[in-house]
Amino acid sequence: MKVGLNLVAGYADHHARYYNYSGAGVVWERPDGTLDTTIDELLRVGRAAAQVIGPWKETRPPAPTIGRARLNLLTPSGLHFGEGPLDTLAKDKLGGPVINSAFRLTPKARIRGSLAPAEPRGDDLDEKPEKPLQIVPTQGTGVECFLPRDSRMEIPV
């Protein structure tokens, strides 16, 4: 089974992103308001978590390793984040609502957007990816969730 990370993100301008572990993705540039409520919910629970988690003052860490998830909470005060095994974060009183909101956004973005074809990345456990997932610092406010490919959010491409 291929492994890797999926990324789902929602931003205050109601743009959203879904990048599949394979390299395929959806870039939602808000052609209409159909995802606004779902994105607003992700931002609401992300703000609640960010109020408890202090801003990260170090360099942004690399992508999570296999089996781990990360919640990046992008705020005017900087990056706030939580990371750990998906099961642990999903049960956490702060992380759980963020993970669940990200799961709700993912299929909607997939259905409303068009999934661009992927280039092979070599994500098998036994080989290093040829094109590792790059974390690019974003501008503005939003929530980014890096989730293991084998998590319950996975929808067949």
Q: Does the residue 105 lie in any domain?
A: yes
Number of domains in the chain: 1
Asked if 146 and 64 touch (Cβ cutoff 8 Å), the reply is: yes
SS3 98: helix
Asked if 118 and 131 touch (Cβ cutoff 8 Å), the reply is: no
Residue ranges of E strands in 29-93? 68-75, 78-85
47 CB neighbour count, 10 Å cutoff: 16
- Point out which residues pair with 92 in neighbouring strands: none
Please list the pLDDT of the chain residue by residue as tens digits (157 residues).
466 888 999 999 999 998 888 888 888 888 899 999 999 999 999 999 999 999 999 988 888 888 899 999 999 889 999 999 998 999 999 999 999 999 899 877 766 665 454 444 443 333 333 344 444 444 467 888 888 875 544 333 2
Round to whole Å and give the CA distance between 5 and 135.
Answer: 12
**CA 43 centroid distance within chain:** 12
Q: Does the residue 143 lie in any domain?
A: yes
Q: Does the residue 157 lie in any domain?
A: no
Residues spanned by the domain of 116: 5-148
Round to whole Å and give the CA distance between 37 and 90.
Answer: 21
Q: Does the residue 153 lie in any domain?
A: no
Max CA pair span of the chain:
42
Look at residue 153 in the predicted model and tell me its pLDDT. Answer: 43
